[in-house]
Structure 1
Amino acid sequence: MHNGRGAGTYCGVGVSSRHMLLNSVSAIFLATAMTFAALPQDAQAQDYRFNTVQVDGNQRIETSTIISRMGIERGKTISAGALNDAYQRLLDSGVFETVELIPRGNTLVVKVVEHPTINRINFEGNRRVKDETLEGAIGSQSRRVFTPEQAERDAATIAEIYSTQGRVAATVVPRIIRRSDNRVDLVFEISEGDTIEIERVSFVGNRVFSDRRLRRILETKQAGFLRTFIRSDTFIADRIEFDKQVLRDFYLSRGHVDFRVNSANVEFTRERDAFFLVMDVTEGQQFSFGKITTVSEIPGVEAPAYQDVLKIKPGVVYSPSLVENSIARMERLGLKNGVDFLRVEPRITRNDRDLTLDIEFALVKGPRIFVERIDIEGNTTTLDQVIRRQFRTVEGDPFNPREIRESAERIRALGFFGDANVETREGSTPAQVIVDVDVEEKPTGSLSFGGSYSVSDGFGVAIGLTEDNWLGRGQRLGLTLSTAQDAEQYVLSFTEPQLLGRDLRFDIDLGVANTNSSFASYDTERAFFAPGITFRLGELSTLQLRYRWEASEMVQRTATTVSGAVIASEIAQGKKSSSALGLTYTYDSRIGGLNPNAGVLFEVGVDAAGLGGDNEYFKTSAKAIAQTRVWHEEITLRASLDVGAFTWQGSGFSRAIDRFVIGPNTFRGFEPAGVGPRDQSNGVDDAIGGNYYAVARFEAEFPLGLPEELGLRGGLFYDVGNVWDVSDVNTAGGTIVGADGSFRHVIGFSLLWTTAFGPLRFNFSKALKKETFDKEQSFDLTIQARF
């Protein structure tokens, strides 16, 4: 903020941004009236002829320029109306405060008072928005002519900036301070006002989905008791328009093709300190896919081959995205088969009787248009190649509008740009187009501070430094420093999303980790180096190939710490290294599948160590998750299965840190390593892990009927699992229990609390079946916070 007040005095009268310099406008009207009063009373009935035009009062504007602007020719007869037009042209030029035309015989005297120039511009009262932001938004500039109209527009622009932040009560008063040499200081006095909250968001006309469900998808949120930290509950007009489109997309993806938003009414509360938002909607009936057929109108292109690539089937709930994905598959097949300019037109037949939509995909020949070039503007940091590789089309390729739209979405999804527009225009010939890409970059680096707490790891802090667009190459570089009471980790990570210009993601992690075990008499120290490459096998599946080198050691906690025979023998092995190759296959249909309310995740990985290093083993793990939403998407049902197998191949014995030791994140109801084989020799109770484990979890999440602004949901869960087998373990001298194990059963209730600081989960559990040596944990709290 700047003061801006000097020795001058105010010459303008400040008004709010909604009244905009009314005194200045009144002064113009008064000057106009005085000017016409100066003309003869019978001016409208007279004609004039001026041999001389005399201009008085001009300082910056040349006399010849003023005469030329008037358009009056010497010695030529003009009417009173033409004289009035000349006066209006001078006034409309925007450089004069007042204009006066005085006929004196054959001489026309033109008296003008020029607008002052702006010496400097100051902003007062702005705390939420920086001066630099406001200066870039207004049209008035230093050393340019001041006009009340432009100051009016600038005040409205500033008020609009505050309105987009939910401060609709903000007022802006433009004032001027007179300086010498016909200069002024322009000062915008800003009263930011308070943010106006959305007190309540409600819907009219919805029958299938509840208000609660619809509110969850909107960007606009109603005020909660954490309103001090949540800014999405402020009223922003543009956000309401965005929410209308979000609602349309939500219903269309669920087959409601006739859905529409009739109105979105925003009204003040009685106290006029908040808004009510009421959306009137018409849901319409839900439609499903009917007959799915493909026809070809291109000679030599057979329709059955294209029909075979379709994934949608009759009976599936209609979604425009599924149709779009089908078109993309067909066009890719056409490109593979060398069919240029292939276009797929979906022809929809509506069947109101059985609420189905028959889709006929017509293969037609598109216009012969080529991409002449791709022009990119606005990227000052990001390299052109980062943007260009989001296009599957290059210069000289056939033009495909759908592919250009998808490329635009990929550019926006990078997260490097605040705004990204992709448009096409005609090229050098009608058969060519130019693709214009206009981007507006935004900061891509971040520094984050976080805090966490869990029963297993205790309190901890995390510092993260991340650059998502390192050196403008689209690469991600991150440094994470995290520490908890019982766990520390320091990791440097790097990601190249498109290695060698191909759809290959390269990752590499380098770090150290130290763990103070809460379930045994040893600590661990690790250093690791882990590169990997991930590529896509299909639309929903990926394969990762990786390598991991690790040096690890089990360390006795203190000189006086007593360990069991098993752990003592493993500590005695000292530092050992492993060099392992691995791969992981992942299939995930939870987001991109045919059903937006259901999906599955399947993941299986194997690591083989022995390519150098001290350890030799095979370690396999698999995970399967299936989830769905029921009861109008209010309840989420989820089932998951985790299994793992460890096989020691080397000489000697394996260690506990090599085998499986599971905790509450995998099996609720027990402490870390609370289930599985244990060594109770030497009066201790050490968890030693097992070669195999299996855990099945079943859970349901549901609303509790409490006010939504509390952010509370409930959950019920049932877990069953086991950890077993200690073959290839040096059990000499140990007292081993739970080697064969048994399946434990746990039930529980969860309280899920979504806060401004992050998700909190409270688990209350009870073991229905357990072993006497198990370590039960009836309560678990996990907090993850970023600020």
Structure 2
Amino acid sequence: MNLYRRLILSFGLMVVACGARAGEFVVQDIQVDGLQRISAGTVFNYLPVQVGSSVSEQEYPEIIRALFKTGFFSDVSLERKGSVLVVTVIERPAISEVRITGNEDISTDDLKKALAEVGLVEGRVFDRSLLDKVEQELLRQYYSRGRYAVRIDSQVRPLERNRVAITIEISEGAVASIGQINIVGNQAFSDKELLGLLQSSTTGWLSFFSKDDQYSKQKLAADIETLRSFYLDRGYLKFNVDSTQVSITPDKKDVYITINITEGEPYTIEDILLTGNFGDVPESDLRKLITIEAGETFSRAKMAETTKKLSERLGEDGYAFANINTVPQVNDETRKVTLNFMVDPGQRVYARRINFQGNIKTQDDVLRRELRQAEGAWVSTKDLDRSKTRLQRLEYLESVSAETPAVPGTNDQVDVNYTVVERPSGSLMFGIGYGQDSGLLLNASVTQNNFLGTGNQMSVVLNRADYGENYSIFYNNPYFTPDGVSRGFRLYYRNIDASQINTADYVLNNYGVQVSFGFPLNEFDTLVLLPGYDHVTIDTTTGTPVEIFDYIDQNGDTFNEFKLDATWARDTRDRVVFPTSGSLNQISTELAVPGSDAEYYKLNYRGVMYYPFARWLTWSLSTDIGYGDGYGNTDGLPFFENFYAGGLRSVRGYKANTLGPRYSDNEPSGGAFKTVASTQLILPVPFLEKSENVRTAVFFDVGNVFATPSDFDANELRYSVGIAGLWLSPLGPIAVSVAAPFNDKPDDETEVFQFSFGVPFN
């Protein structure tokens, strides 16, 4: 019986072995059918079988899976023809074209870059599942921008040679507006106070410019951080945002936001510690930078500001990579915090070399003289920042970037590399302009702000307008001495018909020369002295007022003036053109020295300040006050030196030069005392993402001119409000304002719309 069983088992094993061998064969050749674009070599590279290998039918699924993983094929089958392995494939189509339509909020280039990252790009193999993922990603992106009504429609059109054209049609829909924002859980602060902190808001009168009523996920995340910072700056260390709910109306036009918070209790400062290594910086210098005191409410902002000041102070003495760790030790029972500022200065770092790149025309020493960081000296973060700012203020540089790479093989040296982009510094211009103040303006000029790459300034200007002629030659060397003392000169000739600029009917003819010397007093203050000579001739007409005839009878119609002018200015603005922060304070004097035919002086103060409220909003406040008088042999300020007000560069909404006292013939006479002020909210330009050369503002102007300071009367000040626009166009500067005077008198000459083209702003 046992022998019989053994015979049956052996026979079964032989049958199984014979079956396995029946499906196995040695591959003498491999044939690939169905290829159109993909080469047979590519298939062979992915096949786990080679000629000479033994293959059985049980291995077919593994071979098929290997080819499917390539993503090239939509179907793969195997069969045997004798000793030949036949691979039959159906290729996926290739993407011949990807076309996107209907997108405005996201640019086509940005969308195509995103598609390329996931493989949906021309020339690649088309996978329908990939297109579905792309549609979902596009929806996600548009949802994050508040466009919940967006529709994505993808169409795949077959082409010859197994290709497809993909069209993605996007209907963006309107951005969902914020219908309401609710904050739940606040007790210490009112809803109004907290909502006023947020970028997101319901629709208001500035929403057209700020877009604050348009919902976006990123903006909401920033608002949550704003709330967190607000509470942490007021001592609420345990503040927490528990949840945020965003719901949208069925028509997908309005969004309702609910923010649930837990305030906790405020904490106070118990003690302040300063520990660690201070390097060569006196501890007293660091301690006086800590303005936080025991007993006051904890503030994360003050803590961060103190950390920044400590780091900057260490950076001034060469510890460019100092590390300040602020460790708050919190006692939850007493709700008190001990702050420990732990200082690790690291090694002092030196500047090995300072290099410039990109200055094709400008000489290296012209840029190097603006630097406050020296080679071989400690790397001072303060000097590095100031050096970059001084370079950025050069009119012939468009942009400046700085890098401080470490010197290979050292741990205490860096190179300072400045990369600059030059802008065209010279121009030969023939142009036509028009201004309501100046009339038709024909001009020809040769200007060089960087003459031969030396940084010197030179210009020859020939202007002819309805009001007369103006010709000048100007040259200035800003570094006449290595210490930054400047020297320049100006020759000029003017022949002005005063009646054409809304003043009395007479002709002013003058020519002269002026030399300038500029002395830098420090990083921000400059004193400029301008001695010169001015020859003035007054020509009258039949329409000249009797007061001017009387003046000429007493003083003559020709004046030789020897002048000494001076200007002190403190300029901390971030830019000279279209600044957004900083201030300019300027006091200037104009003196006709004793011995001149007319002895007089003029004083003028001009101040302007810029306060950035937000990335898109800047507030500016400016004032311009002037006073003049005669002395010695001259009684009062000569009439041709009077101050005037009104116009595009003064009190807008009133015709240029028409405010203030008048002659007996009712023509404006100007006065010896001028006071003008303006405040502006500088707003983003609608429909323009980048507006470096354009500025719009809502303004409020006030001012007037008076015969003398004793004649000043606040009731005689004129006011106006309006909107202004400035554009540095390729053809010349354009200024426009629409103003509404609201306390004008019957004799005032108002002008709602004012503009100029081709006339400088200042």
Same fold (TM over 0.5): yes
Q: Please give the alpha-carbon distance, in whole angstroms, between the structure 1 residues aligned to 2:368 and 2:22.
A: 69
Q: How far did residue 508 of structure 1 move?
A: 13
Name the counterpart of 1:561: 543
> What pairs up with 1:583-622 in 2 under 5 angstroms?
583-586=567-570, 604-607=587-590, 618-622=601-605
> What pairs up with 1:570-719 in 2 under 5 angstroms?
573=557, 581-586=565-570, 604-607=587-590, 618-622=601-605, 642=625, 644-645=627-628, 654-656=637-639, 658-663=641-646, 678-680=662-664, 684-692=665-673
Q: How far did residue 240 of structure 1 move?
A: 1.5
Q: Is the 8 A contact 1:162 1:192 kept in 2?
A: no
Name the counterpart of 1:330: 313
Q: 1:397 to 1:384 in 2, by over 3 A?
A: farther
Q: Please give the alpha-carbon distance, in whole angstroms, between the structure 2 residues aligned to 1:660 and 1:530.
A: 21
Give the match's secondary structure for 1:194.
Answer: coil
Q: What do residues 420-460 of structure 1 show as CA deviations (whole Å, max 9, x unaligned)?
A: 9999999856948999999999x999xxxxxx99xx97999
Q: How far did residue 115 of structure 1 move?
A: 3.2
Q: What do residues 442-499 of structure 1 show as CA deviations (whole Å, max 9, x unaligned)?
A: x999xxxxxx99xx979999xxxxxxx999x9x9999xxx999999999999999999
Name the counterpart of 2:31: 54
Q: How far did residue 412 of structure 1 move?
A: 12
Q: Please give the alpha-carbon distance, in whole angstroms, between the structure 2 residues aligned to 1:523 and 1:80.
A: 109
Which amino acid in the other structure matches residue 305 of structure 2?
Answer: L
Which amino acid in the other structure matches residue 200 of structure 1?
Answer: G
Name the counterpart of 1:98: 75
Name the counterpart of 1:272: 252
2:711 to 737, 741, 747: 741
Q: Please give the alpha-carbon distance, in whole angstroms, between the structure 1 residues aligned to 2:329 and 2:663.
A: 70
> What pairs up with 1:288-437 in 2 under 5 angstroms?
297-298=277-278, 301-308=281-288, 318-319=301-302, 322-323=305-306, 325-335=308-318, 343-346=323-326, 362-366=342-346, 431=411
Q: Greater Rg, structure 1 or structure 2?
A: 2
Q: Is the 8 A contact 1:251 1:283 kept in 2?
A: no
2:219 to 240, 248, 260: 240
Which amino acid in the other structure matches residue 68 of structure 1?
Answer: N
Name the counterpart of 1:112: 89
Q: Is the 8 A contact 2:194 2:227 kept in 1?
A: no
1:202 to 181, 197, 212: 181
Q: Please give the alpha-carbon distance, in whole angstroms, between the structure 1 residues aligned to 2:226 and 2:640.
A: 50
Q: 1:343 to 1:392 in 2, by over 3 A?
A: farther
Q: Please give the alpha-carbon distance, in whole angstroms, between the structure 2 residues aligned to 1:252 and 1:494.
A: 57
Name the counterpart of 2:157: 176
In the alignment of these two chains, the number of paired residues is 672
Give the match's secondary structure for 1:84.
Answer: helix
- Structure 2 unaligned segments of length 5 or more: list them: 1-18, 426-433, 442-448, 575-580, 613-618, 682-697, 728-735, 758-762
Q: What do residues 605-653 of structure 1 show as CA deviations (whole Å, max 9, x unaligned)?
A: 4455779999876433346799999xxxxxx999989564556789898
Which amino acid in the other structure matches residue 568 of structure 2?
Answer: T
Q: How far did residue 580 of structure 1 move?
A: 6.5
Q: How far did residue 66 of structure 1 move?
A: 1.7
Q: How far did residue 60 of structure 1 move?
A: 4.0
Which amino acid in the other structure matches residue 602 of structure 2?
Answer: K
Q: How far did residue 186 of structure 1 move?
A: 1.9
Name the counterpart of 1:188: 167
Q: Is the 8 A contact 2:604 2:624 kept in 1?
A: no
Q: Please give the alpha-carbon distance, in whole angstroms, between the structure 1 residues aligned to 2:658 and 2:552.
A: 20
Q: 1:722 to 1:371 in 2, by over 3 A?
A: closer
Which amino acid in the other structure matches residue 561 of structure 1?
Answer: G
Q: 1:158 to 1:370 in 2, by over 3 A?
A: farther
1:89 aligned onto 2:66 = yes
Q: 1:584 to 1:436 in 2, by over 3 A?
A: closer
Q: Is the 8 A contact 1:548 1:580 kept in 2?
A: yes
Q: Please give the alpha-carbon distance, in whole angstroms, between the structure 1 residues aligned to 2:34 and 2:124.
A: 16
Name the counterpart of 1:704: none
- Structure 1 unaligned segments of length 5 or more: list them: 1-42, 446-451, 462-468, 591-597, 630-635, 702-713, 726-738, 768-773
Q: 1:171 to 1:299 in 2, by over 3 A?
A: closer
Q: Is the 8 A contact 2:27 2:54 kept in 1?
A: no
Q: 1:288 to 1:151 in 2, by over 3 A?
A: same
Q: Please give the alpha-carbon distance, in whole angstroms, between the structure 2 residues aligned to 1:98 and 1:760.
A: 70
TM (norm. structure 1) is 0.57
Give the match's secondary structure for 2:641.
Answer: coil
Q: Please give the alpha-carbon distance, in whole angstroms, between the structure 2 residues aligned to 1:103 and 1:715.
A: 87
Identity of aligned residues (%): 15
Name the counterpart of 1:147: 126
Q: Please give the alpha-carbon distance, in whole angstroms, between the structure 2 residues aligned to 1:221 and 1:486.
A: 51
Q: Please give the alpha-carbon distance, in whole angstroms, between the structure 1 residues aligned to 2:224 and 2:337.
A: 23
Q: 1:323 to 1:302 in 2, by over 3 A?
A: closer
Relative CO higher for 1 or 2, CA cutoff 8 Å, sep ≥ 6? 1
Q: How far did residue 94 of structure 1 move?
A: 2.4
Q: 1:429 to 1:587 in 2, by over 3 A?
A: closer
Q: What do residues 130-153 of structure 1 show as CA deviations (whole Å, max 9, x unaligned)?
A: 766655554268872332255556
TM (norm. structure 2) is 0.58
